[in-house]
Structure 1
């Protein structure tokens, strides 16, 4: 994935610093040098890198630290400084337009030829559609042959209404007609695709302004190809001066390009990135948030991104709604676990999922996406060989009647050992579900209290009540610590870099189930099954 090499190099530099026996200014300088070299090799602007180096040095001054400062405190200061300034690098501190329900939000796309605008238009329409907006597409690209057909094909596949013309050659006329039609039909998201153009093509730039004048968009989005390097900075500046776009989407981030040029474009135009295109499928569009992005880049995970991704997949799933109902009641059947695994497989490459979950990337132990997917498939084969009665059970019936496990193993082309491992994983996750049901009301009260004016005092009082009820000892793993700290780690309690010591402790506590249970799914076992013999 684009920027993945940058993330590995920066993460390695910070990790090497953490392992240094004597954390002095020399080790600190070595880390900064490696981070800057990684940024430069990723095509980030030289001036930006120089400013970053200077800022980190100014924030961490060894000579001002007390003589008795231990290495852990120094590491924490340095890690926070790196996190803060990398976040600042991709954060223009400008709020993008937020579409409102109940009104027509017109969004116009601009960008270079071949940047992936048409595909990204459909992805964005689908993104809003899955979140309850009434979305549609307008093809105002009358310059490129096949543009209308491409948009029509994408829109039909995604079941999104579209408008275009094979006879009208004036893009401003087509755009205005399409927007007027969809406004009349009360569509909430109207996305207008335009021709790809280059800063030296004056006629096309004038045409872009004409389209913008005709439809008066609420938001103009610049689509940037993540693979074209530092040239993107001058191109985006030219577009900004002409069309004054208010947001950026970076495409093709699933390739092997450096991608740092896109970061430079953010700094040059002071415009926020709102999404990253991560693949060719309609679901391969990730919401961009600076802190979460840098957190993933440094290997700290992105829980809010994971939750958003899961919700986009499961929002309309009847089976998932049934699972959520079960969880609220403290129930977790074998069918529920099958649904969870199926949704994990829908989320794309396992490396993408692992990057969002703190610690899971390491827990996969270098397993490839293909191997991880194969393991998940074998688990689905086991479920497919179960009867309806077995799937609706808690698994005890299989333990009490071992012949059922033998039958399932033979039917799925796996081994009895794999069936036993699956039941063990289910038992742990079922235990967590049971406790989640018991503690649901307590957690809801805690979250409400933490948002109030006396949040700290109320959270402390709630913590005492949970402890008196046994919640700290027998509640959901990872919930026995300070609630405010946990909420921060989950991205709901404030900014800053995640406390990695606390996060790692929470993940180890969750090692048997929940998100942490994914580590067990990929970690060991598997048995010597015969493979799928059907």
Structure 2
């Protein structure tokens, strides 16, 4: 994440308060605020925004009028709320409506990632039932249409463009008219990248807008360009009056505070953030979730929304888990599901207490290991996949055959079998009438009020109903207080025998107000 270093700096400042012995006084508060202010300025957040944040926190805390035992919690809550206010314009983000043609025009600097964002945006809405089309009105950059064509073809999204027509206004109008005639719900227009000093290109952008009459204009903003973001965003706002912002390249480690300043300067909400090169590395923006991830609290809600959009194969595995069984086929299915979630580093950043390990979970290396495991299981027979692995222990020659068939070493096959054996042992503890799944269902049905009350008391001790728990406490609560979990432990959190399917978890949370309350508290005290 671009602002990962900023999050660490703010956490260090907060730790000086949470770990302070005795009462927290004005000097302790001032020292913490100075640290936070320096961190924000270092990461290109504007001076005006930083000064406002510092003033607002001091107003909210008021050390003299706050009981000593409540000061740490009040400070944490005030910092969280004001960080959210930095990126929250209190404006509702525009949403397309089905049953009519919605036109979105994308604008921004060259190299900000507009063409890639167009495809991501199309796929995002396509997966939500919208009939989506792409129009390439970028005739300035060589290869722009080829890039959009390749992306759209790979994503199976209809597209329109021209190799012969030099006028982007004509192309945009023709493309939009064509898709409207074909009753498309969402038409996304990609325009040329331009700089605020390039008046001709700015005039062209206005002409395209006049021709296609977009329902909404999105500005694509590179999150790593620093202080220039505010000036560029202001110029585009004046010319195109964009309605919301898409922050791209949020998976880097450069400065990203300039993007926050751009939001404040234009008073325009952030609609989406791009978190990687993959077509599905695209998320809706929520101030609370964004700041929660920034501070390492995690983003349970965002993770659940992400899982909800994926078609994860869980039926047979859940049926087996309920019976206390976990086969090699179940392991392969769950490995494939984990890969669908995206890089483990990204998933880890969304889990409370795991964000500190995100950088250590190399995305490519993790995916290679998972793919190797799947290749090994692809070389097994149906009988072997549907077994509990005992067949390999009884007939060791099968291990050698699978290793040769998958192009791996015998040791790697044995590691897969050991993984399955461990998961099978956990499945036995989960299945049956006294297993974990039965107990969770009992809680859902209101039979676990005592357990829920106990968990609520624990949360209250950690920071209060409306407060933000201490980072180290949160990490310990979610298993992040010790060393970095290995691949199997992290994978186990997503259905490898370690817990019920995410679909079951979603249903449980949605139908139980108590669990919803807990999730909101985990999300950062909102």
Distance, in Å, in 1 between the alignment partners of 2:8 and 2:367 is 23
Residue 11 of structure 1, CA deviation: 1.8
1:263 equivalent to 2:263? Answer: no
Distance, in Å, in 1 between the alignment partners of 2:487 and 2:203 is 54
Distance, in Å, in 2 between the alignment partners of 1:336 and 1:200 is 58
Describe how 1:176-191 pairs up with structure 2 within 5 A.
176-191=173-188
Residues 376 and 154 of structure 1, relative CA distance in 2, 3 Å threshold = closer
Deviates more, 1:80-89 or 1:23-32: 23-32
Q: Deviations over 1:186-233 (max 9, x none)?
A: 211210001111222222222212211221211100011112111111
Distance, in Å, in 1 between the alignment partners of 2:454 and 2:240 is 50
Distance, in Å, in 1 between the alignment partners of 2:20 and 2:466 is 28
Is the 8 Å Cα contact of residues 43 and 261 (structure 1) preserved in structure 2?
yes
Residues 366 and 215 of structure 1, relative CA distance in 2, 3 Å threshold = closer
Residues 354 and 100 of structure 1, relative CA distance in 2, 3 Å threshold = same
Uncovered stretches (5+) of structure 1, i.e. residues with no partner: 447-461, 473-478, 523-534
Residue 31 of structure 1, CA deviation: 1.9
Is the 8 Å Cα contact of residues 219 and 245 (structure 1) preserved in structure 2?
yes
CA RMSD of aligned residues (A): 3.7
Q: Which position in structure 2 is the counterpart of 1:455?
A: none
Q: Secondary structure at the match of 1:255?
A: coil
1:285 equivalent to 2:256? Answer: no
Q: Which position in structure 2 is the counterpart of 1:41?
A: 42
Describe how 1:145-164 pairs up with structure 2 within 5 A.
145-164=142-161
Q: Deviations over 1:489-524 (max 9, x none)?
A: 9xxxx9975786985576359x9xxx99734869xx
Residues 195 and 375 of structure 1, relative CA distance in 2, 3 Å threshold = closer
Q: Which position in structure 1 is the counterpart of 2:54?
A: 53
Deviates more, 1:300-309 or 1:380-389: 380-389
Q: TM-score, normalized by length of structure 1? A: 0.78
Describe how 1:159-238 pairs up with structure 2 within 5 A.
159-238=156-235
Q: Which position in structure 2 is the counterpart of 1:22?
A: 22
Residue 364 of structure 1, CA deviation: 7.5
Describe how 1:282-431 pairs up with structure 2 within 5 A.
282-312=279-309, 314-315=310-311, 319-320=313-314, 323=317, 333-362=327-356, 366=360, 368-369=362-363, 372-373=366-367, 376-377=370-371, 379-380=373-374, 383-384=377-378, 386-393=380-387, 395=388, 398=390, 402-403=393-394, 407-408=398-399, 411-412=402-403, 413=409, 414=411, 416=414, 419-428=417-426, 431=429
Residue 485 of structure 1, CA deviation: 10
Q: Secondary structure at the match of 1:286?
A: strand
Q: Which position in structure 2 is the counterpart of 1:6?
A: 6
Describe how 1:109-124 pairs up with structure 2 within 5 A.
109-124=106-121
Is the 8 Å Cα contact of residues 109 and 221 (structure 1) preserved in structure 2?
yes
Distance, in Å, in 1 between the alignment partners of 2:261 and 2:428 is 47
Residues 87 and 430 of structure 1, relative CA distance in 2, 3 Å threshold = farther
Q: Secondary structure at the match of 2:478?
A: helix
Distance, in Å, in 1 between the alignment partners of 2:323 and 2:148 is 44
Is the 8 Å Cα contact of residues 409 and 419 (structure 1) preserved in structure 2?
no
Is the 8 Å Cα contact of residues 6 and 39 (structure 2) preserved in structure 1?
yes
Q: Which position in structure 2 is the counterpart of 1:518?
A: 489
Describe how 1:475-486 pairs up with structure 2 within 5 A.
none
- What is the aligned length? 477
Residues 171 and 507 of structure 1, relative CA distance in 2, 3 Å threshold = same
Distance, in Å, in 1 between the alignment partners of 2:96 and 2:436 is 34
Q: Secondary structure at the match of 1:291?
A: helix
Distance, in Å, in 1 between the alignment partners of 2:457 and 2:246 is 33
Residues 437 and 19 of structure 1, relative CA distance in 2, 3 Å threshold = closer
Q: Deviations over 1:43-102 (max 9, x none)?
A: 000110011111111111221123xx33xx332222111111100101111111112223
Distance, in Å, in 2 between the alignment partners of 1:330 and 1:481 is 28
Is the 8 Å Cα contact of residues 11 and 297 (structure 1) preserved in structure 2?
no
Residue 436 of structure 1, CA deviation: 7.5
Residue 3 of structure 1, CA deviation: 0.8
Q: Which position in structure 1 is the counterpart of 2:502?
A: none
Q: Which position in structure 2 is the counterpart of 1:87?
A: 84
Q: Which position in structure 1 is the counterpart of 2:523?
A: none
Q: Secondary structure at the match of 2:196?
A: coil
Distance, in Å, in 2 between the alignment partners of 1:383 and 1:8 is 40
Residues 401 and 339 of structure 1, relative CA distance in 2, 3 Å threshold = closer
Residues 307 and 521 of structure 1, relative CA distance in 2, 3 Å threshold = closer
Is the 8 Å Cα contact of residues 328 and 440 (structure 1) preserved in structure 2?
no
Is the 8 Å Cα contact of residues 327 and 436 (structure 1) preserved in structure 2?
no
Q: Which position in structure 2 is the counterpart of 1:133?
A: 130
Distance, in Å, in 2 between the alignment partners of 1:365 and 1:228 is 22
Q: Secondary structure at the match of 1:423?
A: helix
Q: Secondary structure at the match of 1:123?
A: helix
Deviates more, 1:264-273 or 1:170-179: 170-179
Distance, in Å, in 2 between the alignment partners of 1:507 and 1:37 is 30
Q: Which position in structure 2 is the counterpart of 1:507?
A: 478
Residue 352 of structure 1, CA deviation: 1.4
